[in-house]
Amino acid sequence: MSFGHRLHTALAERGPLCAGVDPHSALLQEWGLSDDVAGLERFALTAVEALAPVVSVVKPQSAFFERFGSRGVAVLERVVAEAKAAGALVLLDVKRGDIGSTSAAYADAYLDPASPLGSDAVTVSPFLGFGSLDPFVDAARRHGGGLFVLALTSNKEGPEVQAAVSADGDTVAGTVLGHLRRLNADTDPLGSFGAVVGATIGATEEDLAFGGPVLAPGFGAQGGTVADLRRLFGSAAAVLPSSSREVLRRGPSVEAMRAEAHRLNDELRA
């Protein structure tokens, strides 16, 4: 079954919230944990225990695991496996993108279910040209996986690149969304090729009806609100507001993190 189909079902069953697992050193400290691999493991697996049984999508941020080298990546492998086992879809946030032949290796690493980091979907960067992502698109189709392609990111520096107008008169973001619209054509009920559009961007004239899901980071700690989501994403096929720190700072209590995820899902559904 395609990622779009599986995501559509998960959103209906569990709600739209995407829960980020971002083991910031400041959060490890707030939880009373040491800033080392043991602390990382306790933090990340506690977050998975709290959130993966109740949210549709868990999004581990690879950077916070990579900073501990191979032992940190081994913890990330457990996070991916345990979140899947608890019934969540796993979106690995690695924002990869390179020349095609290297993208093929990244795609195998993150989208092949037989790989130790094999996930349901992955974030990718289109800024080497959208065609450089073809190996990711092929792997996603082969394995029933999904992609979330950077389009209008939540950071204030994004427009310098993403709002630039290219030779055909489209913005860079508009060009990315156009490619996604083509990839998602004729997919029912939801395409597997999503876009990253921050909840913090204020306003956009881009057409967000491209047939696939929008990952909306910036909800919560970066200032994005439910009102922003309603205003920005009315035309989108599906929206996954993503929150990491805002939920994780409720820890280390499993009950408190889970209650916050339920509260946000209720608010988002209302």
Ligand X SMILES: O=c1ccn([C@@H]2O[C@H](COP(=O)(O)O)[C@@H](O)[C@H]2O)c(=O)[nH]1
Q: Which residues bind ligand X (CB under 6 A)?
A: 20, 22, 61, 93, 153-154, 196, 198, 217-218, 220-222, 242-246
Pick 2 or 264: Cβ nearer ligand X: 264
- Cα 264 from Cα 270, distance rounded (Å): 10
Q: Nearest approach, Cβ of 94 to ligand X (angstroms)?
A: 10
CA 115 to chain centre: 19
Out of 59, 84, 95, 156, which one is annotated catalytic?
95
The phi, psi pair for 19, rounded to 5°, reads: -95, 120
Catalytic: 156? no
Tokens of 244: 């990491």
* H or E segment to which residue 168 belongs: none
Pick 175 or 242: Cβ nearer ligand X: 242
Q: Nearest approach, Cβ of 153 to ligand X (angstroms)?
A: 3
8 A C-beta contact, residue 194 and residue 215: yes
Pick 2 or 219: Cβ nearer ligand X: 219
Per-position b or e across 73-92, b if 16+ CB within 10 A of its CB: eebbeebbebbbebebbbbb
Q: Nearest approach, Cβ of 226 to ligand X (angstroms)?
A: 14
Q: Nearest approach, Cβ of 241 to ligand X (angstroms)?
A: 9
Pick 155 or 189: Cβ nearer ligand X: 155
Q: Catalytic residues, which ones?
A: 95
